[in-house]
Amino acid sequence: MTFSGALRVTYRNNAPFQSRVRNWLVAVMALLGCAWLAGCGGSGGSTGGEAVKTVTIASIAYPYQGKQVFNGLNGVVIQQGWLKEQLAEKGVELVFTPVSTAVGGPLINEGFSGKRIDFASYGDFPAAIAVAGGVPLKILAPVGQGQDVYIVVRKGLAAKSLADLKGKRIALHRGRPWELPFSKLVDSSGLNLSDFKIVNINPSATPAALESGSVDAAVLLSDGLLVEQKGIGRVIWSTRDAPADWKMRAELFGRADFVDAHPDLTQLVVDAFVKAAAWSSDEANKEEVIRRAARGALPEDIVAKDYANSGIPWRERFSPIFNPAVRTHYRSVADYALERGLIRNKVDADALIDERFVNKALKDLKLEQFWAHQAGARS
């Protein structure tokens, strides 16, 4: 069963009728997206002596001013143009494939499985599920040091902690990266998921559910701050108050067979992301980074507040260093997914991590001391 198929089964078993309809539409979008992705190029599975014609990178994109735009390091890589030029010198075309947030993980996994994409920067849970399903992936570079997850309660609810939500309806999009920190909080509080009425709905539908009182609380990313700003809800907890490995993570993943067959092209891709990370980590570019991160996604002030709330120094925020929290985090992801039945086969989290390319990039780009604080605390 594919990841998207497994997700649809979960929806049928757990979601209320309205959520089933919504998720059926998402599933249809995923199938249509897969058909579209099939025509987007990629290396075509050329992992032997056959010449590579394209390098395809998939990532979440947002509609902005009539087109799809890539935020974060992907957008910087495109803006800098260095990777496109370097690949062109080798006769290879660079293709960035946009993926909607509604179908992100499943669609990217389908692309990796069909060898229609070579790299992707996306979240931890979907990648672990892909690997457990037999799709060989490698984590080539962190694309940041984690994103905060928020618990928001609806307006008028007096709850101040997770314990106060026992027996309440909590909106949680199952199988998505933010499920792990929520579950860790539940476990650390001496509670169980069964202590809550989990409502499986997409984050885009959550504000309306909170406002109507259909749910009492929700687990969200930085959009939780927007819900609070609009007066619909109130943040009562975030991963800022938790260990570093609780944050939701996304990394640059590569298809292992492509990586092994084409280390030279892989190195160029990682070099480009490290260059983009260095640019983004420069305080002088902070305002531009926030502006670009907000395009089509959230208001700039919400993005800025989320960054400020995290407690991560700006220089370290986009660090590509494999610090201990990365390895700990993926071990937790693998264990949790197996324990909760999201995967059937155990994932070797340590085998996922491939530090070779980041280490070489830091040396070749003379950035070995740029993230000096983290360089001394590698995993």
Domains and CATH numbers, the chain: 3-146+249-375 (3.40.190.10), 150-246 (3.40.190.10)
Distance CA(105)–CA(310), nearest Å, equals 24
Residue 241, C-beta contacts closer than 8 angstroms, at least 6 positions apart: none
In DSSP notation, 96-140 reads EEEE-GGGHHHHHHHHHHTT--SEEEEEHHHHHHHHHTT--EEEE
| pTM higher than the cut 0.85 | no
Q: Could you report the per-residue pLDDT of 243-280, keeping only the tens digit for each?
A: 888 998 899 999 999 999 999 999 999 999 999 999 99
Residue 227, C-beta contacts closer than 8 angstroms, at least 6 positions apart: 152, 206, 207, 210, 218, 220, 233
pLDDT of 353 reads 96
Environment class of residue 28 by beta-carbon count within 10 Å: exposed (0-12), middle (13-18) or buried (19+)?
A: exposed
pLDDT of 203 reads 86
- What separation, in Å, do the N-terminal and C-terminal C-alpha atoms of the chain show? 34
Low-confidence ranges of the chain (pLDDT < 70): 1-49, 373-379
